[in-house]
Structure 1
Amino acid sequence: MYQLYFYPLNASMAPHFVLEELNADFELIMVDRKNKEQKSAGYLALNPTGRIPTLIDDGFAIFESPAICIHLAEAHPSSNLIPPIGDKKRAFFFQWMMYLTNTLQAELMVYFYPQRHTTEAKNVPNIIDAQESRITDIFKLLDHELENKEFLVGETISVCDYFLFMLAVWADELKTPPLSFTHLSQYLRKLAQRKAIVKVCQTEGLSLLDYQ
């Protein structure tokens, strides 16, 4: 049985989606982020970064959300959540996973935590404005990519799609949210109908009314 240390609507959401899609045997273990339980000695023994999520698989711990998702997909090759070795789509899978994690997620982190990126509090509003513009450009690119496409990579759902859905949820309060883009909106609304996403959102307390 897998164990996923999670917090609702956190970076653990994508691995949670994947576990549900796999119909895997897993246990959710809540990490009380409000009380900084992720910084406790017990949790740091599993994940020295002090961040969420952590996956326990057969007694060993894996951290970093994209790494967990890729590990789960590789461990269940029949799921087709990652293209197999030798398939040209595998390169595009890693291309988009890196873009989502190293670009979109990274820019969102600066947007949500601007105070960590300046020593002058007066600069925070400017950082937020700049980040919103950068993130909007990223969603424009993704919107264009998804024109006439049901999934980001290939003809079937992959880990990339679940990861993008999580990041889109995070960005839903931007001035130009993901659902305001034509193709991206269609893509997200269709994903929101999948059983795995519906179940995880029910568990984590997220309403999908906006995606209907």
Structure 2
Amino acid sequence: MQLYFHPSNASMAPHLLLQDIGAPFELKFVDRDRGEHQSPEYLRLNPNGRIPVLVDGDLVLYEAAAICLYLADKFPDARLAPPAGTPQRARLYQWMFWLSNTLQAMLMHWFYPERMVDSGDAAAASQVRAQAEEHIAVMLQRLDEQVAASGGPWLLGADYGAADAYALMLCRWTRHFDRPARDYPHLGPYLQRLLERPAVQRMFEAEGLQAPLV
């Protein structure tokens, strides 16, 4: 397997799961600063020009949440997802889609507010970013409440899994906010538990990331 990645991008969650699984894989660095994600070669893998892409034999798969769910299914012994057809599996789907479609989507408005306004309108872009941060704060509070209510140390309860990898990635992205995820009463200890996992530490080391990690 090959994972096309850029440090601290949406490739982080799939990368973490690969570290958890322990099966052989290769990291393929995509240099965003040089526009490699828009190169003809990369666009043949992902016509959207987004990171990540997973190549597994003849399968070429993009969208980080889809890659995470695929890996969880391909390697059931890693126990990264509850059995299919169970209520617990349904909760995993709910939270994976909430994380990717709700929280991640709003984070994109914070990181790239200029995409939502006329070219060169810095004041409007600033307003988009401010509004996005307000919405993200509400979403982080919801995530904090879920950790508190889960009945276990992880997002969905007693068992660590794919949703935790995704939540770690998105919470990291808030590390420079006025109120980052680590400052919430339940998310803070939850993130510290994640940082203690050996697979998480291997992932950060492999991507060359420095403090603050979350």
Does the pair score TM above 0.5?
yes
Report 1:111-130 matches (<5 A).
111-119=110-118, 120-130=121-131
Map of 1:162 onto structure 2? 165
Map of 2:194 onto structure 1? 191
Amino acid at match of 1:144: E
Q: Over the residues paired in the alignment, what is the CA RMSD in angstroms?
A: 1.3
* C-alpha contact (below 8 Å) 1:152/1:161 kept by paired residues: yes
Q: Distance between the aligned counterparts of 2:42 and 2:140, measured in 1?
A: 34
TM-score normalised over the length of structure 2: 0.94
Q: Partner of 2:157: helix, strand, or coil? A: coil
Map of 1:143 onto structure 2? 144
Offset, 1:149: 3.2
Q: Partner of 1:103: helix, strand, or coil? A: helix
TM-score normalised over the length of structure 1: 0.95
* C-alpha contact (below 8 Å) 2:172/2:213 kept by paired residues: no
Amino acid at match of 1:35: R
Deviates more, 1:7-16 or 1:122-131: 122-131
Q: Distance between the aligned counterparts of 2:209 and 2:26, measured in 1?
A: 19
**Runs of 4+ residues deviating >6 angstroms:** none
Map of 2:85 onto structure 1? 86
Deviates more, 1:187-196 or 1:120-129: 120-129
Offset, 1:206: 1.9
* C-alpha contact (below 8 Å) 1:6/1:12 kept by paired residues: yes
Amino acid at match of 2:164: D
Listed one character per residue, the Cα deviations across residues 145-167 of structure 1 (whole Å, up to 9, x for unaligned) are 11153111231111000000001
Deviates more, 1:114-123 or 1:100-109: 114-123
* C-alpha contact (below 8 Å) 1:150/1:187 kept by paired residues: yes
* Identity level (%): 40
Q: Partner of 1:5: helix, strand, or coil? A: strand
Amino acid at match of 2:106: E
**Gaps in structure 2 of 5+ consecutive residues:** none
* C-alpha contact (below 8 Å) 1:201/1:208 kept by paired residues: no
Deviates more, 1:148-157 or 1:158-167: 148-157
**Gaps in structure 1 of 5+ consecutive residues:** none
Q: Distance between the aligned counterparts of 2:178 and 2:140, measured in 1?
A: 12
Map of 1:17 onto structure 2? 16
Q: Partner of 1:83: helix, strand, or coil? A: coil
Map of 1:177 onto structure 2? 180
Q: Partner of 2:186: helix, strand, or coil? A: helix
Offset, 1:87: 1.9
Q: Distance between the aligned counterparts of 1:17 and 1:86, measured in 2?
A: 25
Q: Distance between the aligned counterparts of 2:84 and 2:152, measured in 1?
A: 23
Amino acid at match of 1:93: L
